[in-house]
Structures are given as structure tokens and as C-alpha cells.
Amino acid sequence: MPGPNPIISVIREWLVKADNDLKTAAHTLTLGEDCPTDTVCFHAQQCVEKYIKALLVFRGTVFPKTHAIHVLRSLLPPKLRPKLESAVQHQLTRYAAVLRYPGAGPDVPLTEARKAVAIARRVRKEVRRHLPPAALRRERK
């Protein structure tokens, strides 16, 4: 019986981390007006970033250590790129690279945080269509 495919294992690791980010963002939104929206946006960005990285791993594409969504997305063939307008890519990157630090500017409105989570959910769905079914199944412990 052959052992587990190491590429599939690495993809699963990326997906688990990405899904944990999405769960954290979505759960934090339930705080309503007390919600730390910068935290929600950061985790939404992390979900998008990790899903793209999982797809890059599947394709055997080496990628830099970066939070820049537009850089990572550009490494994919056009037909596999999650549908994200340029402004959205840059906003997501801002959530990871700028927003989480003091002096980043005004607080993010709750509606924007909700939109970031919706984007992360959509990217998750798009990317999962391009990954092998074996990578989408949880590993048995």
C-alpha cells in the first residue's frame, strides 16, 4: 500500500490553516458593533492568501514569502486565478501588511469587514474547484 502523497499533505496543511482563518474571521463578526474589524479583515486576507498558496503548491509553482495577493495570483495561469479586481487585491494585501499595525488609519467599517469575509468565502470556493479531491478530504488521525 503506497504512503500518503506528500504534495497532497502539504496542500491539506495550507487548507486547514486557511479554513481556520476563515472560521476566526466569521466568528469574530458575530460580535457585531464590538467586533474588531481589523482582525476580521486580517484573517479574511490570510484565508485568501493561503488558498492561493495551496493552489500554487498543487501546481508545483515556487512562490515568494509575501502577503501580496496580486503577486501570488499572478503566478497562476489566468484561467485558475481567483476573480479579484485589482483594487480588491490591493485592499486585501493592505489588511495583512498595513492595517494590523498602529497608525494604519481609521477603523474599518463593519460592512467592509463583512465584505472581506464574503470575498474570502468566494475565493475558497473558486480555488477548491481546481484542487484534487484527495486534498479536500480531512486526513484521518
Q: What is the pLDDT of residues 23-36, one digit of tens each?
A: 999 999 999 999 99
Look at residue 140 and tell me whether its pLDDT is greater than 70: no
C-alpha cell at 96: 495583512
Cα–Cα dist 131/54, whole Å:
8
Q: What is the pLDDT of residues 125-136, one digit of tens each?
A: 999 999 999 999
pLDDT of residue 19: 98
Q: What is the pLDDT of residues 39-88, one digit of tens each?
A: 999 999 999 999 999 999 999 999 999 999 999 999 999 999 999 999 99
Q: Which long-range contacts (CB under 8 A, 24 or more apart) does 93-98 make?
A: 93/45, 93/67, 93/68, 93/69, 95/38, 95/41, 95/42, 95/44, 95/45, 96/42, 96/45, 96/46, 96/49, 96/67, 97/67, 97/68
